[in-house]
Amino acid sequence: MRVNRRLFLQGIAGTAALAAPSLPAMKITRVRFYESPLSRPMFNQSFHVVTVETDAGLTGVGEGGSRDTIQECAEMIIGEDATRIDHCWQLMMRGRFYPAGREKLDALGALDMALWDLKGKALGVPVYQLLGGSAREHIDCYSTGFPPQGDAKQTARACIAAGFRAYRTSVADPPAGAPFDAKKMVDVTFEHCTAVHDAVAPDGEWAIDYHTRLDFPDAVRLSTLIEPLEPVFTEDLLRSENTGAYRQLREHVKTPIAVGEQFASRWDISELIENQLIDYSRVTLPNCGGITEFMKLAAICETHNVGLIPHFTGPIAEAALVHCCSVFSGPVLMEWLGNGSREIDYLPKHADFRDGKLWPNNRPGLGVEFDAARVPLRLEVTKRNQPIPLFHRPDGSLTNW
């Protein structure tokens, strides 16, 4: 039987058009900011909850920011189409002329998260489907602050038995009230790392956070001492202000290096990635400016063979990270606090954690359920405020004023 190819293709196109979900126009009408009891007393690393409401009756949920930084960002997107996520991101980043710094990017990231949640809900799909579909069945985790089970060996062994891929330790703290003597602390740390390594072998791995507290020679000495113990990564070896120092450090250190929890957008860390001065990016959500920015950073990491080990964050942002990390084709390891048990009264559903791993789910959007009645409302923005002109290129894209 001969088939008319043109009519056949037209039929396929028509069927696809009927099957494809339509995305309703959604104008942003209101942004609310709720105070989370989980949040640390640091406005640039907050777990506060943000909601973005639309005239389509849908609400997106995000996390991060402070009252003032959320207000300034929210005032720029009232009335905008919620489906134009990158446009809204550019507007919040550049709409007050000065590019958003790290503290403001935390707020921008919260709102960006909520916009992705909105879009997923509007289409009835999880966010990872909008990002290309999951590349892995689950995401391996390592534990920070696993509950003590006795000595270091017993605790590390229990962490691996709970299903975590790795147990994380850190540079030793000095005795209470004593000064930080780097040489002594490096020696104590090496002994501790040896015990941890022996405890997790051969089924598990271990990692260590230097907390940026060591100077260059001490960071090199500790890295050299623990190199035979094969940590899965060494974290934040030096202060984050001078990224160029890692060019010299890389010549002396052979252990895998993970850096970025004190950074924000891709511009903070691009030099380290593009010159392959690190092995893993620790940049996280919402600090970098949300899912929009995180995925651009992930693309740079993939290009230069750098993996993702994002820093721990709030429960909504952790759920968002599962979507981002699940679509990344390179190495991924996520940080989880404690033994994984986490019940939050205002979040009946957030990230799906079990057996030491995080699992993508099929719930629409970020897969988070938020009970606003359980946390205090601190801000409501319904009016737009744009104090400087906005300039656009002939094609409608935003440029700077």
The pair of three-digit structure tokens given for residue 160, joined into one six-digit string: 């691996």
Peptide bond before 175: cis, by omega within 30 degrees of 0?
no
Cβ-contact 362, 126 below 8 angstroms: yes
Strand-pair partners of 391 = 399
> Could you give the C-alpha distances from 59 to 128, 364, 368, in angstroms and in order?
18, 12, 12
End-to-end Cα spacing for the chain: 63
Phi/psi of residue 327, nearest 5 degrees: -95, -5
Could you tell me whether strands 28-34 and 377-381 are parallel, antiparallel, or unpaired per DSSP bridges?
antiparallel
What is the Cα gyration radius of the chain?
23
**What positions carry a catalytic annotation?**
211, 311
The pair of three-digit structure tokens given for residue 8, joined into one six-digit string: 């056949």
Q: Three-class SS of residue 59?
A: strand
Q: Three-class SS of residue 383?
A: coil
